[in-house]
Structure 1
Amino acid sequence: MSHPLLQNWQKKSKERQKHYKQLLQTVNRQKTYEQLPELHEEAFSHINCLDCAACCKNYSPRFKTTDIKRISRHLKMKESVFIDTYLRLDEDGDYVTKSKPCPFLGADNACSIYDERPSDCARFPYTDEDVLLKRPAITLMNSSFCPAVYYVLEKISQIK
């Protein structure tokens, strides 16, 4: 993460949470949606997820039924055994991992089920889709631990 914008990004993100909240409410949505794919690509040209993996270390994706079927098949486990071994129901009634970090995260920050990972993981950090603007609470939380979300929000701030 050598881009100047990313220096001390965690501290800066914490300081700018109010700004981001306002930005997400007032930004020109159509213009921003059009620019998200390019901003997403730009962010990931400077950021390697394997350097960080904070998402996998501190949070859990939702494991939807299709994810559970696919992953348990891949692991050659019965779905019920997969659920009993790795998952619990959260307060929203979604399946999430029982433990943190994610049980599929390796010491090298790589995912042992990467090709079969939950759709939430594949889509994270949502910097190339409308979730970034439509779910501001998630975006604000993600900006506190994901440098890519911070980067994209900073770039959106410059567009306005």
Structure 2
Amino acid sequence: METIRYFKPDELKAMTANRKQEFSALFQKLKKKKPKNLDDVVHRLHREAFEQFDCLDCANCCSTISPIVTDKDAERLAKSQKMKPADFIGRYLYVDEDHDYVFQQTPCPFLMADNYCCVYENRPRACREYPHTDRNRFYQILNLTQKNCEVCPIVFSITSELTKMEW
């Protein structure tokens, strides 16, 4: 795997747009074939990526996109902020077009200047699992992965590596 470096979100968007046809062709092929070794390959690339890249140097995800916040997440976050869940929801969340709770603002209200999360131990499940490249049945989230190429240098790098392989 090539060295992963930080890119600003607008740079990643442009880089992803430049490779849109290539990435789309890859994801269509993976959706169709559902290779048995896909999870193993992506999980290996995930481990390699996280050995060399520190998310604290980036925080694009926290700066530009809002995670889905489940009721359970909202309760946990409210408790950590010593708030009632309804008050937490009213202050920080709204229901998006998919009928999911998401944060009212980006960057995330809990992202600190040093890119640390002040609610890290209580962060939403979507944040815990991001960028989802260690997930099983990876072929099920290829659309999300393609979108995440625009945000996360790790996802862009993994996707780039996948294009070099014979499927």
Does TM, scored on the shorter chain, surpass 0.5? yes
Once residues 123 and 75 of structure 2 are traced to their aligned partners in structure 1, the CA distance between those partners, rounded to angstroms, is: 11
Computed over aligned residues only, the root mean square deviation of the Cα atoms, in angstroms, reads 2.0
- Does residue 50 of structure 2 align to residue 44 of structure 1? yes
| Corresponding position of 2:102 | 96
Q: How does 1:116-131 map to 2 (within 5 A)?
A: 116-130=122-136
Higher relative contact order (CA 8 A, sep 6+): 2
- Does residue 31 of structure 2 align to residue 25 of structure 1? no
Q: Give the direction of change, closer, same or farther, for the CA distance of 1:145–1:7 in structure 2 (3 Å limit).
A: closer
| Corresponding position of 2:111 | 105
Once residues 150 and 139 of structure 1 are traced to their aligned partners in structure 2, the CA distance between those partners, rounded to angstroms, is: 9
Per-residue deviation at 1:79? Answer: 0.2
Range 34-43 or range 125-134, more displaced: 125-134
Once residues 6 and 67 of structure 2 are traced to their aligned partners in structure 1, the CA distance between those partners, rounded to angstroms, is: 28
Match of 1:13 among 13, 16, 20: 16
For this pair of structures, how many residues does the alignment match?
158
- Give 4+ residue runs of structure 1 displaced > 2 Å after superposition: 5-14, 130-133
Once residues 110 and 5 of structure 2 are traced to their aligned partners in structure 1, the CA distance between those partners, rounded to angstroms, is: 28
- Does residue 62 of structure 2 align to residue 56 of structure 1? yes
- Does residue 165 of structure 2 align to residue 159 of structure 1? yes
Once residues 103 and 111 of structure 1 are traced to their aligned partners in structure 2, the CA distance between those partners, rounded to angstroms, is: 9
Once residues 108 and 38 of structure 2 are traced to their aligned partners in structure 1, the CA distance between those partners, rounded to angstroms, is: 32
Q: Give the direction of change, closer, same or farther, for the CA distance of 1:131–1:101 in structure 2 (3 Å limit).
A: farther
Once residues 142 and 47 of structure 2 are traced to their aligned partners in structure 1, the CA distance between those partners, rounded to angstroms, is: 21
Once residues 103 and 7 of structure 1 are traced to their aligned partners in structure 2, the CA distance between those partners, rounded to angstroms, is: 22
Once residues 107 and 16 of structure 2 are traced to their aligned partners in structure 1, the CA distance between those partners, rounded to angstroms, is: 23
Match of 2:84 among 78, 81, 87: 78
| Corresponding position of 1:87 | 93
Per-residue deviation at 1:155? Answer: 1.7
Asked if the contact 1:133–1:139 (Cα under 8 Å) also holds between the matched residues in 2, the reply is no
Asked if the contact 2:56–2:116 (Cα under 8 Å) also holds between the matched residues in 1, the reply is yes
TM-score normalised by structure 2 residue count = 0.86
Once residues 131 and 51 of structure 1 are traced to their aligned partners in structure 2, the CA distance between those partners, rounded to angstroms, is: 29
Once residues 40 and 97 of structure 1 are traced to their aligned partners in structure 2, the CA distance between those partners, rounded to angstroms, is: 27
Per-residue deviation at 1:78? Answer: 0.2
